[in-house]
Amino acid sequence: MRVKTVLVFVIAFSLFSGFFSACTREDLEQVEISDHTAEFAFPLFSTDLLMKDLMLNILNDTLSGDTLYINSDNSMTLIYTGDVAEKKATDIFNFLENGLVPIADSVSSSPIQAPDGVTVTRADIKSGTITLIIYNNTTDTVSGIFEITQMSANGVVFNYPFTVPPTPNTVWISPPIDLSGNILLSGSNLLEFKYYAYNKDGVRIAFPSINGGFAPVFVSFQNLTFSYLQGYWGYSSYPLTRDTIEIDLNQTNLDGNVKVKNPKVTMKISNSWGFPTRGKIKYLSFIGKDGTEYKLNSTIFVDDAVDFEFPDFTKNEVGQTKYTYLKMDETNSNIAEIFNAQPTRLVYEVEGISNANLDPNVIGFLTDSSNIKLSVGVELLLEGSADNFQTDQTLDLDFGTYSALDTTEIEAVEFKLVTENQTAISAAVQIFFLDENENKVDSLFVGGPQFIMNAAPVNAQGIVSGVTRKENFIPMSIARFERVRATKKAVLQAAFTTADGGQVPVKLLATDQVVIKMGLKVKTRL
Partner 1 sequence: MRLSTLLLLLFLCVHLSAQQELMLQSAPELWHSNATNPAFFPQEKRLVIGLPAYALDAAHSGNLTLNDIYAKRNGIRYIDFGAAIDKLDPENTVHFDQRIETVSIGLRLSKKWALQAGHANRFTGAVTYPKDLPALLWNGNAPYIGQTLNIGPKIALFNWNEWSVGAMRSFGNLTIGAKMKFLTGVSALESDENHHKAEIYTNPDIYQLTLNTDYAFNSSSIISAFDTAGYGFRVSLGSLNGKAFTANTGIAYDFGFNWQLTKRIRVSASVLDWKGKINWTENANYYKSNGTYEYEGAVFPGTDIINGGDSLDFDSKIDTLNDIFKFVKTPKEFSTSLPTRYFASFSFMLNARWTFGASFYKQSGAQTHSALGFSARWSPLKWATIAAMYSVDDRSVANIGMQFILKPGPFQLYLMSDNLANVFTPRNTPALNLRAGASLVF
Residue ranges in contact with partner 1 by CB under 8 A: 4-5, 7-8, 11-12, 15-16, 18-19, 22-23, 27, 30-34, 36, 38-50, 53-54, 57, 60, 393-402, 405, 416, 418, 492, 513, 516-522, 524, 526
Q: How many CB atoms lie within 10 A of CB 238?
A: 14
The distance of closest approach from Cβ of residue 461 to partner 1 in the complex, given in angstroms and rounded to an integer, is 26
CB proximity list for 20: less than 8 A, separation 6 or greater:
none
Q: Closer CB to partner 1, residue 463 or residue 520?
A: 520
Cα gap 43→522, rounded to integer Å:
11
The distance of closest approach from Cβ of residue 510 to partner 1 in the complex, given in angstroms and rounded to an integer, is 13
Cα–Cα distances (Å) from 501 to 78, 494, 507, in that order, read 23, 15, 15
Cα gap 425→418, rounded to integer Å:
15
Cα gap 298→336, rounded to integer Å:
12
Q: Closer CB to partner 1, residue 123 or residue 490?
A: 490
Q: Closer CB to partner 1, residue 261 or residue 489?
A: 489
The distance of closest approach from Cβ of residue 500 to partner 1 in the complex, given in angstroms and rounded to an integer, is 26
The distance of closest approach from Cβ of residue 60 to partner 1 in the complex, given in angstroms and rounded to an integer, is 7
Cα gap 494→247, rounded to integer Å:
19
Q: Closer CB to partner 1, residue 21 or residue 98?
A: 21
Q: Closer CB to partner 1, residue 418 or residue 441?
A: 418
Q: How many CB atoms lie within 10 A of CB 37?
A: 11
Q: Closer CB to partner 1, residue 16 or residue 69?
A: 16
The distance of closest approach from Cβ of residue 524 to partner 1 in the complex, given in angstroms and rounded to an integer, is 7
Cα gap 286→295, rounded to integer Å:
6
In total, the chain counts a number of residues equal to 526
Q: Closer CB to partner 1, residue 393 or residue 477?
A: 393
Q: How many CB atoms lie within 10 A of CB 254?
A: 12
Cα gap 128→224, rounded to integer Å:
4
Cα gap 376→380, rounded to integer Å:
13
Per the CB < 8 A criterion, the answer to whether 318 and 311 are in contact is: yes
The distance of closest approach from Cβ of residue 429 to partner 1 in the complex, given in angstroms and rounded to an integer, is 12
The distance of closest approach from Cβ of residue 59 to partner 1 in the complex, given in angstroms and rounded to an integer, is 11
Per the CB < 8 A criterion, the answer to whether 262 and 146 are in contact is: no
